[in-house]
Copies of this chain bind each other. A is one copy, B any other.
Amino acid sequence: MIVILSSSATERNRADIVDNLEARGYGVHVSVGVEKTIIGIIGIGPEEKAEITDQFEAFPFVDRCVPVSAPYKLVGKAFRPEGTIITVRGVVIGGQKAVMMAGPCTVETEEQLMESAHAVKAAGAHILRGGAYKPSTSPYSFHGHGVEALKMLASARKETGLPVITEVMDVRDVEVVCEYADILQIGTRNAQNYNLLREVGKVQTPVLLKRGMSSKIEEWLQAAEYIASGGNHNIMLCERGIRTFETYTRNTFDINAIPALKELSHLPVIADTSHGTGKASLVAAVTLGAFAAGADGAIIEVHPHPEKALKDGAQSLTPAAFNDMMQKLHQLLPVVGRSF
């Protein structure tokens, strides 16, 4: 880490900083410039970096602290350069295989779920998605059928053989969701709910961690570090669009994040282009784009009758549209060295 002193810093200030750091056991390099002095700190870990930054930036004679290395370790590329591969009931996520997760936004009825499950399986999906607990901006909206929906997901898995992924929103529900689901989803509104991250770090069920709608890539990796530091290394990073000034689309799908994560981390990257666009008419194009850019998988909302969906109908594909997209993906994947 580098500490940049203010122009007004005195020699005494500089000596104080150096003493402070040496007393903590760090190596120190001082470089006196024309306008400003910079102090390099050798051998500092992510643990102390945040603390020292907070303290030093409070000194009036410190301009700012600049981190030199990443504030995460376990999820960083260097920790496992060959990349992480997660296997869920025989479905491989990461590596050469691409994965497709699909299904309705929300589990509404046994019938709707089964119809969806069969449709996405027929089109080649590998994992079934469906919400049992739903975050809604309005307290008056539908919030999911909870445990009943979890049971329906388990039935659908039994009938189709597809592993299931579903969101967990509450620390008190982690246990029950783990009982029924194969992958835990952490949603964008809980992407920095650190207590929930800690709880899913204590189990071994794989976690799909959505990006916070205003999380920087670095913060997102730190959120993943919460899970990993608890002991659960089965983490997927899911880009789902960020909040920007653009209003034509619901979110701005950050395609840059896909190759960026591939150079920063060893974790598989999944594209949620349903939320990333918010418009069914844009989903197929952006999903093709995401796989072309190196995504390891996608998670797509498919509803047999989008116009009857209780949530997010506007961004759900019909089974027919989903099937068309899958056909194109089969052709596209070999171009980037992948296959379903």
List A residues at the B interface (Cβ < 8 Å): 2, 4, 7, 29, 31-36, 38, 40, 42-43, 45-47, 50-51, 54-59, 63, 66, 68-69, 71-72, 78, 135-143, 169-172, 189-190, 192-195, 198, 213-214, 216-219, 222, 225-226, 229, 241-249, 252-260, 262-263, 276-277, 279-282, 285-286, 288-294, 303, 306-314, 316, 328, 331-332, 335-336
Task: Return chain B residues, CB-CB under 8 Å to A288.
Answer: 292-293, 335-336
Chain B residues near A32 (CB-CB < 8 A):
42
A314 contacts which of B46, B58, B195, B214 (Cβ < 8 Å)?
A: B58
Contact among B34, B50, B249, B254 for A140, CB-based, below 8 A = B50
Given contacts A63-B68, A332-B332, could you give 13 more A-B pairs where the C-beta distance is less than 8 Å?
Answer: A29-B29, A33-B42, A34-B42, A35-B69, A50-B140, A55-B310, A137-B222, A242-B246, A252-B256, A259-B285, A260-B279, A286-B293, A331-B335
Residues on B with C-beta less than 8 A from A242 are: 244-246, 252
Which of B45, B216, B217, B335 is within 8 Å of A335, CB to CB?
B335
Cβ contact within 8 Å between B50 and A141 = yes
